[in-house]
A and B are shown apart, each in its own frame.
Chain A
Amino acid sequence: MMLFDFFILLRQELMITAIIFLLLFIKLGKERNNETILLLVNIFLFVNLAVGFCCNTEGAIFSGMFTTNTLVVFEKNILNLAIWIISMQSYAWLKTHKQVIEFYLLLLSSLLGMFFMISSGNLLMFYLGLEMSTIPLAAAANFDLAKRQSSEAALKLIISSAFSSGLLLFGISFIYGTTGTLVFSEMATQITNQPLQLFAFILLFSGFAFKISAVPFHLWTADVYEGAPVAVTSFLSVVSKAAVVFVLVSVLYTVFKSLSEVWYNIVFLIALLTIIVGNLFAIRQNNMKRFLAFSSIAQVGFILIGIAGSSQKGTASVIYFLLIYVFSNLAAFGVVSLVSAIKGKENISDYKAFYTTNPMLAWVLTIALFSLAGVPPTAGFFGKFFLLLAGTEKGSYWPITIAALNMVISFYYYLRVVKAMFMDSNEQPIGKIVIPGFSKIALFICVIGIIVTGLFSWIYDYIFSLSPSF
C-alpha cells in the first residue's frame, strides 16, 4: 500500500495531531492573548472539518487495527463539526480563562481517541481509544479550577470511568479467552451464546452503556454535567456520546450479530428504562445543565430503540438522529453557556421572562428544545420518528407505545422551560446579553441545521446509502 494512502486514510487523525502540536508550540512560544489564540484555534478546527470532507477512500491499515470507510469518515465529520461549534460557543467562557490551550489540547486528544475508537479494527485499539477519550475529559472537567463542584465532577468521572473500564476489561479478557482473538472480524465467527460469552458481552455492553449513560449506568452523568464547565458538558453530552454510539452500532451489528436476538431484548429493556428514568428525573430539575443532562439521557433511550431495530434503517436513523442531536443539543447548550458565562445564571427559574430581554436567544433555545422534544418542523421530529420507525421493525409494539407515551412526559419538561421563558413573569430577569460573534455564528449554524436537516431528505438518503445493510 502506498505511503500516500496512509496519509489519506489517516488524514483526520493526522489533522488533529497536527493541531495538537501546533498548539503545543504556541504554548511554548511567547505569551499571546486569548483572542488571537481562540481565533487561530477556531480557524484550525474549521480547516480540520473541511479536510474531513475531501477525498474519501476506504481501507484497513496496520493489519486491520485501523479501518475506515465513507460512513466512518462521515461520523468523524459530524464529530469535527460538533467540536468546532462547541469551541465557538465556549468563546465567552474561554476568553478570560488562563489555560485555554491546555483545554483545547485535552479536548482534541480526547477527540483523537474517539477517532481511533471509531475506526478501530480490534479490541485493543477500541480500548485505547476509549481510555484516550475519557482520561483527558476527566482532566478537562476540572477546568473551573476555582469551583469545588468542578473538581467533584472530575473525581466522579474519573473514578466511575475507571471502574467501568475495569469491568469492560474483565469482559474483554473473557472474550479473548473464549475466542482467542482481539480482531473484530475474526471474533464475529466465534461468538456463540455460551453463558460466559454472554456474560462477557454484557460486561462489554455495560462499558458502552456507561459511556452513553444509559440507565442504570448513567448515575455519574447528571453530577458531572452539572459540575463541569459548560463547554466540557456539551462535549460530553454530544461528542463522546455520539462517538460511542457509532462504535456501539457497528460492534453490535457486526461482531455480536450472532447474539442479535439476545441483545435485541437487552437493548430494548435498557432503552425503556433509560427513557422512563431520564424523564422522571428531568421533570424535577431546576439547574439547566442538570436538566439537559437528564433530557440527554432520555434521548439516549430513544437512540437505543433505534439501535434495537437492527437493520439498515436502524443504522441510518441512529446516525441521522445523532447529527440532528448535535445541532439541537448544541444550540441549547450554546444559549445556556452564554447565559452562565456572561450572567452566571444556570437555573430554569432564572430564565423566567427571558423572552422579554433576549428574544433572539429565547427563540433559539425554544427551537432547540422543540427539536429535542421532536416537534415539527424542526429536525428533531424526523429524527425521533425515524428512530421509532426503525425500532418497530421487529414488531414489538407495546414497548414502542410506552416510548411514545413517554414523549409526552418529555414534552412536559421541555415545555416547562418554554413556559418559563415566555409566560412567567420575573422581577429581575436576565439582562440583555451581547452575543459574541463566534457564538452568533455557532448558534446560527445550529438553527440552520435544525431546520434543514429534517426537511431536506437528501441528508437522510445519503446516510442511508452509506450505512451497511444488517
Chain B
Amino acid sequence: MNEIPLSYILFVSTALFFIGMYGLFTRRNMITMLMAIELMLNSVNINFVAFNKYLFPEKLDGIFFTIFIITIAAAEAAVAIAIIIHLYRNHKSIDVDDASELKF
C-alpha cells in the first residue's frame, strides 16, 4: 500500500472537508447542515489517522485524538439535534432562514 502517498489521502480528506463546508453554506435545512458538519469532522479524523500512520507511528496521538473527536462530535450532534427539535416546536419549521429574527 506504500505506493499511495500521504498526499492522496490528504486530498480526499481536504476535499471532504470542503464538501462539508459547501453543504453547511448551502443547506437550508438545519438537520442537513448538521450532516455537513459531521462530514467536516470526519475529514479531520482522516487527517489525524493518516498523519499518525504515515508520519509518526511511534506514538498514538492521532488515533486518540480521533477517538475523542468522534465522541465529542456525537455529543455535539445530540445537543444540536435537541435544540433543533425544540426550535421546531417553537417555530414549526427547521428552515434556518426562518430562524433569523435576531439581526442588525
Contact = CB atoms under 8 A, between A and B. Distances in A.
Interface residues of A, number: 39
A135 B51 contact: no
A173 B52 CA distance: 10
A223 B102 CA distance: 5
Interface of B: 17, 20-21, 24, 30, 33-34, 37, 40-41, 43-44, 47-48, 51, 55-56, 61-62, 64-65, 68-69, 72, 75-76, 79-80, 82-84, 86-87, 90-91, 96, 99-104
Nearest to A145: B86
A435 interface: no
Main DSSP-derived SS at the B contact region: helix
A131 B82 CA distance: 17
B28 to A, nearest CB: 12
A223 B99 CA distance: 11
Contact of B47 (A128, A173, A180, A182): A173
Interface string A148-169: 1101111110110011011001
A172 B34 CA distance: 21
A13 interface: no
Contact of B83 (A138, A163, A166, A222): A138
Given A127-B68, A128-B68, A158 B103 contact: no
Interface string A328-362: 00000000000000000000000000000000000
Most-contacted residue by chain B among A128, A158, A180 (CB, 10 A): A158
Given A138-B79, A151-B83, A166 B37 contact: yes
A155 B44 contact: no
A396 interface: no
Most-contacted residue by chain B among A123, A176, A182 (CB, 10 A): A176
Interface in A431-447: none
Nearest to B78: A135
Contacts of B61: 124, 176, 181-182
Contacts of B48: 173, 176
User: Which 10 A-B residue pairings sit nearest by Cβ, starting from the closest?
Assistant: A173-B47, A223-B102, A166-B40, A177-B51, A169-B44, A151-B87, A180-B56, A152-B99, A148-B90, A154-B83
Nearest to A139: B79
A53 interface: no
A314 interface: no
B83 A155 contact: yes
Contacts of A131: 72, 75-76
Nearest to A227: B102
Contact of B33 (A127, A149, A159, A170): A159
